[in-house]
Amino acid sequence: MMLPKINYIKVNTLTEAYDAINQCLGELSILAGETDLLIELRKKDLDTHQNILDISNINLLKEIKENGELIKIGSLVTHTQLAESPILKKHAALLAQAASMIGSLQIRNRGTIGGNICNASPCADTVPPLVALDAEVTLSSIDGERVLPVADFIKGPYKTARKSDEILTCISFKKLPEGCRSHFIKLGRRNALSIARLQVAVVGMLDNTGNICYIKLAPGSSMPTPTRLHEVEKMLINEKPTSDLFVEAGERTAQIMIEKTGIRWSTEYKKPVLAALVRRGLEKVFKKTTNHGDTETQSR
C-alpha cells in the first residue's frame, strides 16, 4: 500500500503529546487505533494529514473505571475491551453490545472508543448508546480540560467540536439506575464487517405501577447529528408500555428522521424499517418476562 510522506510522532504520555502538539507546524491528525486514519491516508490528502501524532502508547487512557455513580472510559479503550467489560455489561450493557458488533475481531482489537467518536461517522456504532447514556467527553490540552456531552461534541458527519490542540481523553456517564434495561439494534447489509444502515439505542425502566418511568432513545445513521429523541421520549414517559404506543413511537421517530434529513433515495426503505426497529427496541427493553439487565445480543 502506498502512503504519502508524513511526519510521524509517537508519544508515551499526555505531556509529551501536548509538547508535540505545541511544536507542530501545520495540520496534525491523531492516531489511536488506526482503523479509520490508515484508510484516510490512502486518499493521500496531504494537507490534512501532514503530521501524525500516535497516542496509542499512552497507557493511562486504556482503562474502564468505576468512580462511585460514574463510569469513566479512557479514550484508547478498544472495542474488544468495551464488549468484554464486566462493568459495562452490568451498568451499560447496550454499549458493550454495540461494541461487539463493530467490524471484525481484528478491527475491534485495534479500534478505540475515542477514535470512533472523533471520526464522527454518522454510522459509528458506539455513538447512539453513548448518546442514550447522556455520556460526556473530556477534552484535554496544555491549557486544561473541558467537558462536553457526546451529542454536542459531534457537530455533523465527520465534524466535531475538538480544537486542534485538544485530545479526547475520557468518556464518562452515570451508571444506569438499578432495574433499568437497555438494548441496541444495528441493521447492516451483512453480519460481520458491516457498516450500519440504521441503529437504535434504547434505555428504559418501568415503575412499580407498570408505567414507563425512565426512557432514553437515540437512533443512529438516520439523523444529521446524534441526538436523543426527547419528543418521542415524552410520548412514552409515564405511559403503560403497550404495543400501540410502541408502534406510534416508531412511526414518530421515522417522521422526525424525514423532517431532519429530507426525502432521499433510501427513505422509502428506511422509514418503515426505522419505525419497526424502534418498536422492537422498546419491546425488548420493556418486555415483562426476561431478567434484569438483559443483554441478549441481536445479531442483525
Partner 1 sequence: MRIIGKSVNREDAYEKVTGKAPFTDDLSFAGMLYAKVKRSSFPHAKLLRVDTSKAKALTGVHDIATSNEIPGKNLVHVVIDDQPLLADGLVKYIGEPIAVVAAETPEIAEEACELIDVEYDELPAILDPLKSRGEDSVKIYGEDNIFAHHKIRKGDIEQGFEQADIILENTYRTPYQEHAYLETQGMVAVPRFGGAIDIHGSMQCPFYVQQTVSDILGLSLNKVRVIQMRTGGAFGGKEDVPSLVGGQAALSAYRTQRPVKLIYTREEDIISMSKRHPGWIRYKTGMTREGELTAVEIEFIFDSGAYSTLSSIVLWRGIVHSVGPYNVPNVKVDAYAVATNKVPCGAFRGFGSPQVIFAGETQMNELADKLGMDPVDLRRKNILRVGDRTATGQLLDHSVGIGKTLEAACGKADWMRKKEEYSKDTGETRRGIGLSTIFYGVGLGAGGKHLAKTGAYVQVLKDCTVQFAVGTTEMGQGMRTVLTQIVAEQLGVSYRQVFMMETDTSRVPDSGPTVASRATVMSGNALIEACKPIKQTMLKTAAKLLNSRPEYLEFSGEEIMLQKEPKAKVAVTQVIEECHNNNENMASEGWFVAPTTSWNAELGQGKAYFAYSWATNVAEVEVDTKTYEVKVLSITAAHDMGKAINPTQVEGQIEGGSLQGMGYGLMEEVLTENGRIINPNFSTYIIPTALDTPEVVPLIVEEPFEDGPYGAKGFGEQPLMGIAPAVTAAISDAIGVKLHELPATPERIMDALKRKGEGK
What residues pair up with 78 in beta bridges, in sequence order? 112
> Could you give the angle at which helices 243-261 and 267-286 cross, rounded to 10 degrees?
140
- State the amino acid at position 11 in one-letter form: V
Measuring CA to CA, which residue among 174, 172, 176 is closest to residue 72? 172
**Shortest distance, CB of residue 275 to partner 1, whole angstroms?**
9
Which residues, 6 or more positions from 118, have their beta carbon under 8 angstroms from its beta carbon?
A: 30, 32, 160, 162, 168
**Shortest distance, CB of residue 111 to partner 1, whole angstroms?**
14
Q: DSSP secondary structure string, 191-245?
A: SSS---SEEEEEEEEE-TTS-EEEEEEEEESSSSS----HHHHHHHTTS---HHH
Contact status: 299 vs partner 1 (CB under 8 A): yes
Instruction: Please select the residue that binds partner 1; options are 192, 224, 242, 290, rule is CB under 8 A.
Output: 192
**Shortest distance, CB of residue 190 to partner 1, whole angstroms?**
5
Q: How far apart are CA 163 and CA 151, in angstroms?
A: 16
Instruction: Please select the residue that binds partner 1; options are 189, 230, 264, 287, rule is CB under 8 A.
Output: 189
Contact status: 292 vs partner 1 (CB under 8 A): no
113 vs 187 by CB, closer to partner 1: 187
Contact status: 289 vs partner 1 (CB under 8 A): no
Instruction: Please select the residue that binds partner 1; options are 13, 22, 191, 290, rule is CB under 8 A.
Output: 191
Contact status: 277 vs partner 1 (CB under 8 A): yes
The residues in 227-266 that bind partner 1, with binding defined as CB under 8 A, are none
Binding site for partner 1 (CB under 8 A): 1-2, 104, 187, 189-193, 195, 268-269, 272-273, 276-277, 280, 299-300
